[in-house]
Structure 1
């Protein structure tokens, strides 16, 4: 870029309305999914109970949103297409916002970059229509219409063709539209949604969500099951926590039900879908101790608070928010999720059972049949008839052993959640019998988690031992970085890292966590500052200490290949039942799988 000539004074001009709208559209309407978001939010603000969305060619040639909301009068249509004209706020208080939209930019921005047509009718009045093409508004005309509003946007970005070069494929844009509608549908479970692809004259139903019924938690669960799948709700924990005016609710999946990428993390603030870096960081921090770094949690979390505690006017797209007390919001997410995960105890995802059943390949039965479970006496008689013949005392002994085993009442341990140990296979897998079926436990993975939790409890009770540096490490920082680090000095000291001011922007590190051995104090401080800048809080030091504890737990656990006595196996099962997070190992893998008796009978064609 060439430098401007300082001898030439540039002239300051007032841009015309069309140029202003096209510039504003670049912030509000990034792609077709952005247009869908704005139009669906308008429909929700209008009190719609049913919203139908249709698009063609990934939304590039057509987007249509129909709702049964309150509608607009014909006289209001031109005003609705004027910049910063809205019915949702009066402009006196930009923090007391109870609607999705409030800036009055969406419709004029869409009309500036595409061909926009609005048809609307309010109760007790005739319908009216208005069109805008590249910012040029036509007069309002009467039109027959149903109660509510239909907004039709054709040829998006035809007025700004340079933007078309940045559009992705029709498939990618269609996926973005579907994701946008799903997020808004999660926030409003009592509203019906349909999404259709009408490309090339064919109508293909992409999504259909009927309005949920019942209490809010039940309605939300039904809506999440319809969008994310029943597997998610079956393997998710309900979340309900409150702190100082903020309330966290929703569902978070068990660690063993995780994803390979962060594609199923949904955050809402006062029902507004947001992609907030601080909240997503808090979600990762909550699962830090139960998931490996290459796995990502699945969750749909809702934060509700008085509007004055959060600023939603941070960005024109309204996808970012700023809390008055970000530390409070982050702490609520971390503590609420960790409490729920700890309360899950030894529970593991049910998908492991399905995977295990799929791994079996039983021979197809010659004939399918239904079989009731016989009584103890019937089993004894059957065993006697099946005993080998001509074996004398051996046959009698075999019959007596089987009869005695059949008549022995089930031990009380079988009523426990993980049952009673019955065998050890390949010196690594404990097979236990439960009242409902059987459980197979990975003894090393299970004991590794138990030892890890014990080490963490000891750390919480006794603190992290610190080692004094023979020569304290002086770290030169910017004044702002030093101030940010010293603000959390007490938290760092509790983890064994003692940091003190050293004048100017420098700090001195006098002690480091003994468990880390020879630690690079300078790199440790830099990592903590990077995390503070990125997420507003630091969990890096705690994560490093936990990683060391995890390695200690791994080396101090029952090793694969070791034979265990029945009492040892049962003691391991009982400790798993009493220990949080014991359903997964330190890396998020399951420690056991469970098969019900019905599942087993299906494998043999009995069901």
Structure 2
């Protein structure tokens, strides 16, 4: 085969779509120590991709060589396991020149002028002088014009534009100090699709790229094990999403998509998220380059670690430690969404409001105006606490950050008052998490205490009988015995669950096991935790049950002392906090 055919074949691995071309060109600009990178695209990148940078440029004598395969490699090839740059294969420019019309214009630092080189379908024109103040401009027109069959596999213009945007967002997160701009210049336009100015630190860059909501509801990570360091931000479970597109992984500053890393992220959140929810995270792994192989695929998005077990363990332990420390937190977006759901009537004109009196003055005034309010209220004698002392509310509520229970709404929600607002608690979701954590603690310490049934309950389970018997559920306080083909006798149930339907409990365990059939194999401990999570639902306070004030306050205090109490076992929030200032704003009092 001639060299042109070889380049077109090689380009099939490196350049899959416009986003691949943008990735290769922007990475070259970063390697050239650029501080500003501007990307222009038209028609989703089909007809135009232009990358402009202010890097150190390419010397005029080296310009023709830049279009030769492997000539621009940043490594001598002696040690491919010690890579410190984005690019190192030297395939991007010749591959782009083989499948499109490429114009390369560059001016090296200290040179007298710029030079321009054009190549189309692998055919190169002689270099010629050009006008450029600094850096490099790579312009690619009519991508895949030399291989028109590839055009049929491209998606819509909108999809390709979104893929280019996502690629640039990932590179922007990897290089916070570099300014990035993406513009759509289709039909002579100049629409900015993405912009991120140079940031002083990673947090500011992530806030710009992923939004301030993410950084406000994320946990900071900084863990190290055997020379591998994990940093970044991971969102609270209540800030989860319905898909995994908001998971960003970086290895030595390189954006990657690795199944082992995403599996570790999923495993770390398995205890606090439902199976159909996905965490939002930006994780950065830093290690000695010799411990990771980034030469697995020409696209360089896959990596292989020398000791994958250490990396996976670091991610899981680092995230779980952060989750335990932030276990009481609930996403601020929950309260924001609650306020957004309320639709107060807006006054036509600003309403004059007197200065807000102190808590003591308000309490005295209410007592004088309606002395018989407490006695006249029906069905609240068990849920209304005594009036607090006549004094201004302190900055920190003495009862705890969840406040004191004031009422139960619809036999399902606990309304608590704090020093600066109110808290609404889902009693079932909260108690489900508390029971689950108790079960796990019992399991770790001495095994789950069982209670014997006076009359064993017979449950038909069909083909799952042998699998249930093989799990040694007695450790979980559930004693099973074979009772004929496809039938089991339940002789003991976990004591912490109280009176529970053995049939319903077994049905939930079977459902949990069936859910894992198509997933990656879970460890024994993960399976046990998943079963405990199912079991905890049966021992929780049910919706529709009236609770007394001492019961509600006891629940609130236990929530404050229990890890992960900010969300239930399925990742849903257990409570919503509303600040007094926000409530007053609803009534136009500000």
Deviations 1:236-255 (A, max 9, x none): 11111111011111111111
Correspondence for 2:417: 433
1:55-94 superposed matches below 5 A: 55-94=41-80
Structure 1: how far apart are the matches of 2:570 and 2:319?
18
Deviations 1:386-412 (A, max 9, x none): 838xxxx979x99xxxx9867266598
* 1:175 and 2:162 aligned: yes
Kept in 1, the 8 Å contact 2:439–2:448? The answer is no
Correspondence for 1:363: 345
* 1:232 and 2:214 aligned: yes
1:246-285 superposed matches below 5 A: 246-285=228-267
Correspondence for 1:127: 114
Correspondence for 1:221: 203
Task: Give the TM-score normalised by the residue count of structure 2.
Answer: 0.84
1:177-196 superposed matches below 5 A: 177-196=164-183
Correspondence for 2:479: none
Structure 2 SS opposite 1:356: helix
Kept in 2, the 8 Å contact 1:55–1:197? The answer is yes
Correspondence for 2:271: 289
Structure 2: how far apart are the matches of 1:427 and 1:394?
24
Q: Following TM superposition, by how much is the alpha carbon of 1:75 offset from its aligned partner in structure 2, in angstroms?
A: 0.7
Structure 1: how far apart are the matches of 2:584 and 2:508?
56
Structure 2 SS opposite 1:92: coil
* 1:420 and 2:383 aligned: no
Structure 1: how far apart are the matches of 2:420 and 2:392?
15
Residues 520 and 196 (structure 1), Cα distance of their counterparts in 2 relative to 1, 3 Å cut: closer
Structure 1: how far apart are the matches of 2:50 and 2:129?
20
Say which of 143, 146, 150 aligns to 2:130: 143
Kept in 2, the 8 Å contact 1:436–1:597? The answer is yes
Structure 2: how far apart are the matches of 1:404 and 1:580?
31
Structure 1 SS opposite 2:419: coil
Say which of 549, 552, 564 aligns to 2:547: 564
Residues 168 and 405 (structure 1), Cα distance of their counterparts in 2 relative to 1, 3 Å cut: closer
Structure 1: how far apart are the matches of 2:372 and 2:317?
63
Q: Following TM superposition, by how much is the alpha carbon of 1:422 offset from its aligned partner in structure 2, in angstroms?
A: 1.5
Structure 1 SS opposite 2:433: helix
Correspondence for 2:293: 311
Kept in 2, the 8 Å contact 1:258–1:295? The answer is yes
Structure 1: how far apart are the matches of 2:248 and 2:356?
46
Structure 2: how far apart are the matches of 1:284 and 1:424?
36
Q: Following TM superposition, by how much is the alpha carbon of 1:264 offset from its aligned partner in structure 2, in angstroms?
A: 0.5
Q: Following TM superposition, by how much is the alpha carbon of 1:575 offset from its aligned partner in structure 2, in angstroms?
A: 1.2
Say which of 141, 144, 158 aligns to 1:157: 144
Deviates more, 1:329-338 or 1:553-562: 553-562
Structure 2: how far apart are the matches of 1:304 and 1:243?
11
Q: Following TM superposition, by how much is the alpha carbon of 1:86 offset from its aligned partner in structure 2, in angstroms?
A: 2.3
Residues 28 and 493 (structure 1), Cα distance of their counterparts in 2 relative to 1, 3 Å cut: farther
Residues 394 and 21 (structure 1), Cα distance of their counterparts in 2 relative to 1, 3 Å cut: closer
Deviations 1:60-80 (A, max 9, x none): 000000001110011111111
Residues 495 and 97 (structure 1), Cα distance of their counterparts in 2 relative to 1, 3 Å cut: farther
Say which of 80, 92, 115 aligns to 1:106: 92
Say which of 33, 36, 41 aligns to 1:47: 33
Structure 2 SS opposite 1:407: coil
Structure 1 SS opposite 2:145: coil
Q: Following TM superposition, by how much is the alpha carbon of 1:234 offset from its aligned partner in structure 2, in angstroms?
A: 0.9
Say which of 559, 571, 582 aligns to 1:576: 559
Say which of 304, 321, 325 aligns to 1:322: 304
Q: Following TM superposition, by how much is the alpha carbon of 1:203 offset from its aligned partner in structure 2, in angstroms?
A: 0.9
* 1:22 and 2:8 aligned: yes
Kept in 2, the 8 Å contact 1:291–1:588? The answer is yes
Deviates more, 1:139-148 or 1:43-52: 139-148
Structure 2: give runs of 5+ residues left out of the alignment: 377-385, 450-470, 477-492, 495-504
Structure 2 SS opposite 1:448: helix
Residues 464 and 92 (structure 1), Cα distance of their counterparts in 2 relative to 1, 3 Å cut: farther
Task: Give the TM-score normalised by the residue count of structure 1.
Answer: 0.82
Kept in 1, the 8 Å contact 2:566–2:573? The answer is yes
Correspondence for 1:201: 188
Correspondence for 2:584: 601
Structure 1 SS opposite 2:331: coil
Say which of 518, 530, 546 aligns to 1:547: 530
Q: Following TM superposition, by how much is the alpha carbon of 1:520 offset from its aligned partner in structure 2, in angstroms?
A: 12
Correspondence for 2:198: 211
Aligned length: 530
Residues 70 and 451 (structure 1), Cα distance of their counterparts in 2 relative to 1, 3 Å cut: same
Structure 2: how far apart are the matches of 1:287 and 1:340?
11
Deviations 1:173-200 (A, max 9, x none): 0000000000000000110000000001
Structure 2: how far apart are the matches of 1:420 and 1:104?
65
Structure 2 SS opposite 1:153: strand
Kept in 1, the 8 Å contact 2:361–2:390? The answer is no
Correspondence for 1:482: none
Kept in 1, the 8 Å contact 2:247–2:281? The answer is yes
CA RMSD of aligned residues (A): 3.1
Deviations 1:85-106 (A, max 9, x none): 1251111110110000000100
Kept in 2, the 8 Å contact 1:419–1:434? The answer is yes
Correspondence for 1:339: 321
Structure 1: how far apart are the matches of 2:266 and 2:47?
39
Say which of 237, 244, 263 aligns to 2:226: 244
Structure 2 SS opposite 1:440: strand
Residues 86 and 544 (structure 1), Cα distance of their counterparts in 2 relative to 1, 3 Å cut: same
Structure 2 SS opposite 1:256: helix
Structure 1: how far apart are the matches of 2:59 and 2:413?
71
Q: Following TM superposition, by how much is the alpha carbon of 1:371 offset from its aligned partner in structure 2, in angstroms?
A: 4.3
Residues 330 and 494 (structure 1), Cα distance of their counterparts in 2 relative to 1, 3 Å cut: farther
